[in-house]
């Protein structure tokens, strides 16, 4: 027997929470219904209190249930769309997709979803039980597809969306391989010079400290510290990375970082275009699936990574509520590129907003490709000059010291 924690409502609408013993999820669901309660949520992990959620600390469930890879999610969606469009029931389709899954943990998640659907749960509700796996956008589109009887169509759109997102991510990762290798090699060369080469040359300056120039003295002292206390530099680097990571995880740090990134001359424009493509593609998919506009904006806000751009969703909602539509608040916002705003304005005025959003997405997908190529072409020479400059500075500092000490006149 397993302990299940439930949240339900009674006949008067009051929220009831408690726990029951059952052999499986279906048994727990039935027991809650036998109590004349309407079940809202049933889980094996007790929900954290509201004050604890505000601390933004990962729960045991969040730590123990990893996210499945984006490729696995894409394959799951594509296979499910194909099976359902072949007139198989959702229950049977989920069973087949689960059997086709290789990884044990992923198969357990899909199997639990199938059991929930078999027990009478809506597919969207079963997916919502795994927020680390299925995003808010995914769940809302599935919910709209269920209500409209077009689940196979919605799943196909989701599969296309995930495929495009994976393709964009792949392009960015591939573009960063060369700069990453260059940075690693350059940093390794500088560390090698400072910890092995410079200490061997420092002997020629012994007893002549007064004649050593300031720049050479700084170099020699830094080299001594790095060679003798390398472990402290390693610990400091790790602690610095952890502190920076924790800072970015905080709301304040994430906001400051996102604001800084948008102001960078090279990457700010790239980030705007990526977020614009994500906004328009997600919005178009949600609207095409029958999700209401206001609800779509809430979902889109959760999809956008940059907090500064995500915060611009609130004026859009207020504009819709006051009858201004999307275009007018977008024109006032400086978060999105002017071309995209103009295209959305035209789409709303002509009553063809969904198709225009798709065109915006396609346009900025191409813009992202071009921006990545431009960034790569500029980033390579910048790294070469920076690393080369560091090596030249080290060599020049040694040569200047040698010239001063040996009284060589050039």
Which tops the pLDDT comparison, 223 or 56? 223
Q: Is the domain of 118 the same as that of 149?
A: yes
| Residue 137 shares a structural domain with residue 85 | yes
Tokens at 331, concatenated = 């024109």
Within 10 angstroms of residue 343's Cβ, the number of other Cβ atoms is 19
Query: Does the pLDDT value for residue 395 go beyond 60?
Result: yes
Q: Under a CB-based contact definition with an 8 Å cutoff, are residues 84 and 150 in contact?
A: no
The reply to whether 26 and 89 lie within a common domain is no
Same-domain status, 99 and 156: yes
In a domain, 31, yes or no: yes
Note the pLDDT of residue 56.
Answer: 45
**89 and 155 fall within a common domain:** yes
**How confident is the model over 169-185, as a mean pLDDT?**
82
330: in domain: no
Q: What secondary structure letter does DSSP report for 223? A: H
Tell me the CATH number at 18.
3.10.20
pLDDT of residue 239: 92
Burial 252-286 (b: 16+ CB within 10 A, else e): eebeebbeeebeeeebebbbbbbbbbbbbbbbbbb
Query: Do 128 and 87 belong to one domain?
Result: yes
Give the number of other Cβ atoms within 10 Å of residue 374's Cβ: 13
Q: Evaluate whether residue 133 is within a structural domain.
A: yes
Residue 112 within any structural domain of the chain: yes
For residue 11, being part of any structural domain is answered with yes
What is the C-alpha to C-alpha distance for residues 366 and 384, in angstroms, rounded to an integer? 28
Decide if pLDDT at 221 tops 80.
yes
The predicted structure's pLDDT at residue 102: 82
On whether residue 126 sits in a domain, the answer given is yes
Neighbours of 221 (CB within 10 A): 11
Q: What is the pLDDT of residues 111-134, one digit of tens each?
A: 889 898 888 888 988 888 888 888
| Domain termination residue (choose one: 14, 31, 57) | 57
Alpha helices in 65-207 (DSSP H): 70-85, 90-100, 104-118, 123-128, 136-148, 151-192, 198-201
In which domain, by residue range, is 20 found?
2-57
d(CA 390, CA 396): 10
**Residue 374 in domain:** no
Distances (CA, A) of 331 to 294, 345, 353: 18, 8, 15
The string of DSSP codes covering 229-253 is SHHHHHHHHHHHHHHHHHHHHSHHH
> Of 162, 190, 218, which marks where a domain is finished?
162
Average pLDDT over residues 370-385: 81
Q: Are 85 and 133 part of one and the same domain?
A: yes
Question: How many domains does the structure of the chain reveal?
Answer: 2
Query: Do both 86 and 17 map to the same domain?
Result: no
* Residue 203 in domain: no
pLDDT at position 59 is 42
Boundary-marking domain end, from 162, 194, 227: 162
Please check whether residues 88 and 149 belong to one and the same domain: yes
Q: What Å distances lie between residue 164 and 69, 158, 249, 361, 372, CA to CA?
A: 15, 10, 27, 10, 16
Q: Domain containing 79 — which CATH number?
A: 1.20.81.30
Q: What pLDDT is attached to residue 40?
A: 63
Q: What's the pLDDT band for 304 if we cut at 50, 70, 90? A: confident
- Angle of CA points 331, 337, 343, to nearest 5°: 65
If you average pLDDT over every residue of the chain, what do you get? 79
pLDDT (tens digit, 9 = 90+) per residue, 249-295? 888 888 888 888 888 877 788 888 888 888 888 888 778 777 777 77
Question: What's the whole-model pTM score?
Answer: 0.62
DSSP state string for 308-323: HHHTTHHHHHHHHHTT
């Amino acid at each position: 027997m397993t302990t299940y924690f439930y949240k339900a409502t009674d006949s008067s609408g009051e929220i009831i929470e408690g726990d029951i013993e059952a052999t499986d999820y279906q048994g727990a669901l039935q027991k809650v219904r036998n109590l004349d309660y309407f079940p809202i949520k049933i889980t094996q992990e007790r929900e954290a209190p509201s004050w604890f959620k505000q601390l933004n600390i990962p729960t045991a469930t969040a730590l123990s249930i990893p996210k499945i890879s984006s490729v696995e999610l894409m394959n799951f969606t594509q296979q499910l769309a194909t099976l359902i469009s072949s007139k198989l029931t959702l229950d049977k389709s989920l069973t087949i997709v689960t059997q086709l899954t290789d990884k044990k943990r992923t198969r357990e998640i899909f199997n639990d979803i199938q059991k929930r659907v078999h027990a009478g749960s809506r597919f969207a509700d079963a997916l919502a039980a795994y927020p680390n796996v299925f995003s808010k956008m995914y769940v809302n589109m599935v919910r709209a597809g269920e209500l409209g009887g077009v689940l196979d169509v919605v799943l196909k759109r989701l599969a296309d969306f995930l495929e495009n997102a994976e393709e964009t991510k792949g392009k960015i990762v591939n573009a960063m391989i060369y700069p990453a290798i260059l940075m690693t090699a350059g940093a390794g060369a500088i560390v090698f010079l400072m910890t092995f080469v410079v200490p061997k040359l420092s002997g020629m300056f012994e007893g002549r400290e007064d004649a050593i120039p300031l720049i050479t003295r700084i170099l020699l002292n830094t080299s001594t510290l790095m060679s003798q206390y390398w472990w402290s530099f390693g610990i400091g680097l790790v602690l610095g990375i952890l502190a920076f990571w924790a800072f970015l995880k905080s709301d304040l740090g994430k906001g400051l970082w996102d604001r800084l990134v948008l102001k960078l001359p090279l990457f700010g424009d790239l980030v705007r275009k990526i977020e614009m493509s994500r906004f328009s593609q997600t919005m178009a998919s949600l609207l095409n699936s029958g999700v209401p506009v206001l609800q779509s904006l809430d979902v889109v806000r959760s999809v956008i990574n940059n907090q500064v751009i995500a915060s611009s969703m609130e004026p859009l909602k207020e504009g819709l509520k006051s009858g201004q539509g999307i275009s007018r608040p977008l024109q006032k916002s400086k978060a999105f590129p002017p071309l995209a705003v103009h295209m959305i304005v035209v789409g709303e005025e002509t009553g063809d907003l969904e198709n225009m959003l798709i065109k915006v997405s396609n346009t900025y997908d191409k813009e992202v490709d071009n921006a990545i190529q431009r960034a790569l072409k500029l980033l390579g020479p910048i790294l070469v000059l920076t690393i080369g400059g560091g090596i030249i500075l080290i060599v020049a500092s040694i040569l200047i010291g040698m010239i001063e000490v040996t009284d060589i006149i050039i």
